[in-house]
Amino acid sequence: MSANSPSPATQRPQTIAVIGLGSIGGVAAGCLAAAGRHRVIACVRRPIEKLVLDQPGGTVELKLTAVTDAAEVEEPADWVLLCTKTHQTQSAAPWLARLCAPETRVAVLQNGIGHVERVAPLADGAKVVPIIVYYNGERLAPDRVRLRQGSDQDMAVADDADGRAFARLFAGTALRVQLCADFATLIWRKLLINAVANPITALTLQRQAVLRRADIEDLCLAILAEAVAVGRAEGVRLADDEPQRALATLFTFSGELGTSMYFDRLAGRQLEVDALNGAIVAAGARHGIATPLNRALLVLLRAVSDAAASGG
Ligand SMILES: NC(=O)c1ccc[n+]([C@@H]2O[C@H](COP(=O)([O-])OP(=O)(O)OC[C@H]3O[C@@H](n4cnc5c(N)ncnc54)[C@H](OP(=O)(O)O)[C@@H]3O)[C@@H](O)[C@H]2O)c1
């Protein structure tokens, strides 16, 4: 069910702080600012005065309220959208400390699982709301982002009071929010896709066409079989043919597409592997399920990521 139907006029303006104005945060902040219903504050590391948003409906230039130092934050926000990479979450702690109060909601727009466990310790009693992101965001310049919409929905959220409140924020914007009764299954399905597409493209330094090789397809099915066993042990309702379904979804994408981990590796940035294969390995360990293939990907990509972090 899509939730962009509530009348925007029925909602009082909210203060929405967006931490991280990268590909995903830039698009979210831009779409909210373009709708003009709420007060949007960008929490950034470098000053920025405007944001240009390229979206299917056209290009808009938006004035932005931005802060570069958490000490400048005057009061808690109604909503915080945490849009950093997963491994940058801890660095957002000073922002969260100033922006969060018990009545604040923190929407976490990050890949992987375990959003609540990762962010709640930093959120001062605020409610943490995990979000699945389906839209493609690309930061073209520090003050310019592009939105591409490949699926029927742009984000998914649990169909509960917090999820519905999140969906209302985006009512009337370009971003479509799906309310989902079985959020746990959906977030694992996204994890399955990410847990093969990202590491394989990053390790081979090839775009998604590499997934279509027969030997790589077999490897992906084996990696996914481990992950599905772990997901089921976690209580997630994954079907017997989930690995094949995940690959079938991946094959609907153009082989020319990269992945975020592929681009991060090319750019010498840290990789989000702990939030993807690392999460599968950790959950497997909790349930006594061996995950040797996911562990191999994790170890190799951690080594790549650590070298990037130390400038190697
Ligand atoms: N890009 C996509 O299409 C896409 C799709 C689905 C899901 N996702 C997921 O969405 C999440 C965000 O990814 P992304 O692609 O938007 O990453 P990104 O382009 O690298 O953006 C991350 C942003 O966070 C900022 N940041 C990091 N630490 C910060 C801090 N302490 N204070 C303020 N800003 C901080 C970075 O600032 P600097 O510019 O200063 O480095 C950067 O602008 C990831 O979990 C990713 O896997 C992405």
Look at residues 58, 1, 57, 60 and name the one whose alpha carbon lies nearest to residue 26.
60
> Which DSSP symbol is given to 2?
B
If asked whether residues 147 and 195 sit together in one domain, one would say no
How much is the pLDDT for 311?
Answer: 86
**190 counts as catalytic:** yes
Q: What CATH number does the domain containing 213 carry? A: 1.10.1040.10
Local structure of 74: helix, strand or coil: coil
Start-to-end CA span in the chain (Å): 47
Which amino acid does the sequence have at 195? A
User: How would DSSP label each residue in 165-196?
Assistant: HHHHHTTTSS--EEEETTHHHHHHHHHHHHHH
Atom of ligand 1 nearest to the CA of 139: 19
If asked whether residues 230 and 303 sit together in one domain, one would say yes
| Domain closes at, from 181, 196, 226 | 181
53 lines ligand 1 (CB under 6 A): no
Q: How far apart, in Å, are the Cα atoms of 269 and each of 78, 202, 304?
A: 32, 11, 9
Query: How many alpha carbons lie under 13 Å from residue 228 in its C-beta half-sphere?
Result: 17
31-47 residue pLDDT tens: 999 999 999 999 999 99
Which residue's alpha carbon is nearest to atom 20 within ligand 1? 22
277 lines ligand 1 (CB under 6 A): no
Local structure of 129: helix, strand or coil: strand
Q: How far is CA 83 from the centre of its chain?
A: 7
| Domain closes at, from 181, 212, 243 | 181
212 lines ligand 1 (CB under 6 A): no
Low-confidence ranges of the chain (pLDDT < 70): 1-10, 312
Distance 22 CA to ligand 1 centre (A): 5
Rounded CA separation 122/260 (Å): 26
If asked whether residues 132 and 20 sit together in one domain, one would say yes
Q: Which residue out of 51, 88, 119 has the highest number of ligand 1 atoms within 8 Å of its CB and is therefore the one to mutate?
A: 88
Distance 45 CA to ligand 1 centre (A): 12
Look at residues 18, 10, 56, 60 and name the one whose alpha carbon lies nearest to residue 35.
60
Q: How far apart, in Å, are the Cα atoms of 71 and each of 31, 43, 82, 91, 125?
A: 26, 11, 18, 14, 20
Distance 142 CA to ligand 1 centre (A): 12
224 lines ligand 1 (CB under 6 A): no
How much is the pLDDT for 1?
Answer: 38
Catalytic residue among 50, 63, 85, 190: 190
If asked whether residues 280 and 213 sit together in one domain, one would say yes
If asked whether residues 156 and 265 sit together in one domain, one would say no
Which residue's alpha carbon is nearest to atom 38 within ligand 1? 45
How much is the pLDDT for 17?
Answer: 98
Q: Which structure tokens are listed for 220?
A: 């992906």
Query: How many alpha carbons lie under 13 Å from residue 65 in its C-beta half-sphere?
Result: 13
Q: Which structure tokens are listed for 36?
A: 């003009």
How much is the pLDDT for 312?
Answer: 66
If asked whether residues 240 and 174 sit together in one domain, one would say no
Which amino acid does the sequence have at 46? R
Rounded CA separation 308/271 (Å): 9
Residue 98 lies in a domain: yes
Q: Which structure tokens are listed for 302?
A: 């951690």
137 lines ligand 1 (CB under 6 A): yes
260 lines ligand 1 (CB under 6 A): yes
Which residue's alpha carbon is nearest to atom 25 within ligand 1? 20
Residue 2 lies in a domain: no
Atom of ligand 1 nearest to the CA of 110: 45
If asked whether residues 231 and 177 sit together in one domain, one would say no
| Domain closes at, from 152, 181, 210 | 181
27 lines ligand 1 (CB under 6 A): no
- Find the Cα–Cα–Cα–Cα dihedral 276, 277, 280, 285, rounded to 10°: -140
Distance 287 CA to ligand 1 centre (A): 31
Q: How far is CA 175 from the centre of its chain?
A: 14
If asked whether residues 247 and 161 sit together in one domain, one would say no
26 lines ligand 1 (CB under 6 A): no
Q: In what order do the strands lie in the sheet containing 79-82?
A: 65-67, 39-43, 15-19, 79-82, 105-109, 127-133, 155-158, 177-180
Q: Which structure tokens are listed for 4?
A: 């962009």
Structural domain containing residue 279: 184-309
113 lines ligand 1 (CB under 6 A): no
